Structure 1
Amino acid sequence: MKANQFIAKVRENAGANLAPRFLFTLALLTSLSLALFSTPSHAESRAAAVANAELLMQIEQMQQEIKALRNMVEQQENTLSKMQTEQRNRYLDLDQRAQEYAKRILVLEETPLSKPPSQPTAPIKATPPEVSGVNDQQAYNKAYAHVPEQRFEEAIASFQAFIREYPSSRLVGNAYYWLGEIYMAQNRTADAEKMFNAVVSNHPNSFKIADSKYKLGLIYARYGNNNKAKETMESVIAEHPREPAADLARNYLKK
């Protein structure tokens, strides 16, 4: 009798629209109440009620574990989606930049070096000797042609051969830069960092000096070193204000 009165009191206080979690609590209290208020002659019923309460607790625990697993899966899916988006953006950035600078690079690189004013009659320093009938400009163009077509492995091999065969060419810095771009697209971040650092440290007169510094800023951001990334972007803007890389750096700092 006392048990029925207790259950009726709980239901009356709960109301008609109970939340799912309160319903579970109510069921648990009901089972426990049956066990607590039953007479000794109802030992089996009491044991069954306790067993039911334990079962409900186990179900609740399983539901919480399932919810935690779902949250983990959702987080992993979000991380994977972010990585895929970043990878796709790098490919698009590579294609866009390759098309945008292709004409500019070729024009600048094919412009003959002027003779020093103080030595008008002195011959221009010759480019490195040709290998297999191909000069450094032709070898570089051949290697670069693989980049817009995303034939990355062939481009890597060609640029590496170019650096070995024409170590004194004024285009070596550009070759290191494109190796860095390709490694970035392949998520070989450490290798890309080495290539861009090679441009900055060893080829300061390269057409790709500003772009290499910008890419290093992105690499520092990828490492989680946001302060160094910010400093690098600011140096690109300060040292190369008219270069397209400076515009990219400004956009990065606005984020």
Structure 2
Amino acid sequence: MKHSLKWLCGAGALLLPLSVMAAPAVEDLTAQSNSLYQQANTHMSGGGTLTLLNQLDEQVQEIARLRGRVDELEYQFKRMTEMSQQRYLDLEQRVSGGDSAGENGQVVDAQAASAVSGSASTGSSVASNGDAQKDYENAFAKVQSRDFDGAIVAFEAFVVDHGDSNLAANAHYWLGELYSAKNQLDSSAQAFDTVISEYSQSSKVPDAMYKLGLVKARQGKAQESRTLLQTLVKQYPDSKAGTMAKDFLASGG
């Protein structure tokens, strides 16, 4: 009996290592799982980056297209403004008649020159001293000889030296004409506006309103131009400037 137990124990001892050796191995899948997650994450990250790059490229192309469109619209606007200015100049010349050509193809109103010259001669004995009259005539002579730069210098000096003269309004008016002829529209508008606002009793106010209306049109301020010219027609319906303004508006100005 003892021998049988010994034999069984020996057999059991022999079988135990064999059973352990034959048991299936349990692998550690944690590391493998983490590796797969990292690979998937890397794959997704790469795909997302590619998508973002494609979207960015599309946006860059769209911005370039829009920028080109803006440049095109700016060019078209500039051309329309130039054509509009030329249209107003053509209308002004047809309405006003005989003008003297100045720089940049602009004009100085010959009829206005005659009117201002006449007012300088007849009004000098009223409130203008000899120096003011002489300085005014010297400045106006430069207009007649088409020395516009010299005339501007002379009239600018006149309004400083003789600001209280009855010829000051006329001098500001001529500065408006001269700056307009040189296509310096801001300075022209300021000079005409000075006549209107600071010399409201001057006979040159209707003419200044008419010219300021034309300058505003050339500046691209069509609505301001029409409003001013309509006001001129209403306030001075019988004046020559009012008549010209009415004709100008009727002609499409």
* Range into which the TM-score falls when normalised by the shorter chain: 0.5 to 0.7
- The answer to whether 1:156 aligns with 2:158 is no
- The answer to whether 1:204 aligns with 2:201 is yes
CA distance in 2, matches of 1:75, 1:248: 32
User: Aligned residue for 2:131?
Assistant: 130
Residue type of the alignment partner of 2:138: A
Q: Could you tell me how far 1:68 is from its partner in structure 2? A: 0.5
Q: Could you tell me how far 1:236 is from its partner in structure 2? A: 1.3
CA distance in 1, matches of 2:226, 2:86: 23
TM-score (normalizing by structure 2)? 0.54
CA change 1:237–1:230 in 2 (3 A) is same
CA change 1:188–1:242 in 2 (3 A) is closer
CA distance in 2, matches of 1:224, 1:106: 28
Tell me the matched-pair count: 195
Query: For 1:86-235, what aligned pairs fall within 5 Å after superposition?
Result: 95=102, 98-101=108-111, 104-105=114-115, 108-109=118-119, 112=122, 125=126, 127-130=128-131, 135-145=134-144, 148-151=146-149, 154-167=150-163, 169-184=165-180, 185-188=183-186, 192-193=189-190, 195-202=192-199, 204-206=201-203, 208-218=204-214, 222=219, 226=223, 229-235=225-231
3-state SS of 1:232 partner? helix
Q: Could you tell me how far 1:90 is from its partner in structure 2? A: 8.0
CA distance in 1, matches of 2:82, 2:157: 32
Cα contact 1:214–1:233 (8 A) shared by 2: yes
CA change 1:168–1:224 in 2 (3 A) is closer
Cα contact 1:217–1:230 (8 A) shared by 2: yes
Residue type of the alignment partner of 1:210: P
% of aligned pairs identical? 19
Residue type of the alignment partner of 1:144: V
Q: Could you tell me how far 1:231 is from its partner in structure 2? A: 3.7
Cα contact 1:213–1:232 (8 A) shared by 2: yes
CA change 1:108–1:50 in 2 (3 A) is same
Cα RMSD for the two superposed structures: 4.4
TM-score (normalizing by structure 1)? 0.54
User: Aligned residue for 1:18?
Assistant: none
Deviation readout 1:147-199 (Å, 9 max, x if unpaired) = x4442xx333210222244445443212101223344521425x733542334
Looking at CA atoms only, which structure, 1 or 2, has the larger radius of gyration? Answer: 2
CA distance in 1, matches of 2:189, 2:107: 17
User: Aligned residue for 1:73?
Assistant: 71
CA distance in 1, matches of 2:152, 2:115: 19
If asked which structure has higher relative contact order (CA below 8 Å, sep 6+), I would say: 2
| Range with bigger deviation, 88-97 or 176-185 | 88-97
Deviation readout 1:21-41 (Å, 9 max, x if unpaired) = xxxxxxxxxxxxxxxxxxxxx
Deviation readout 1:200-231 (Å, 9 max, x if unpaired) = 5315333x3212112444566658593x5444
CA change 1:181–1:83 in 2 (3 A) is farther
Residue type of the alignment partner of 1:64: E
User: Aligned residue for 1:236?
Assistant: 232
CA distance in 1, matches of 2:113, 2:216: 30
CA distance in 2, matches of 1:192, 1:229: 11
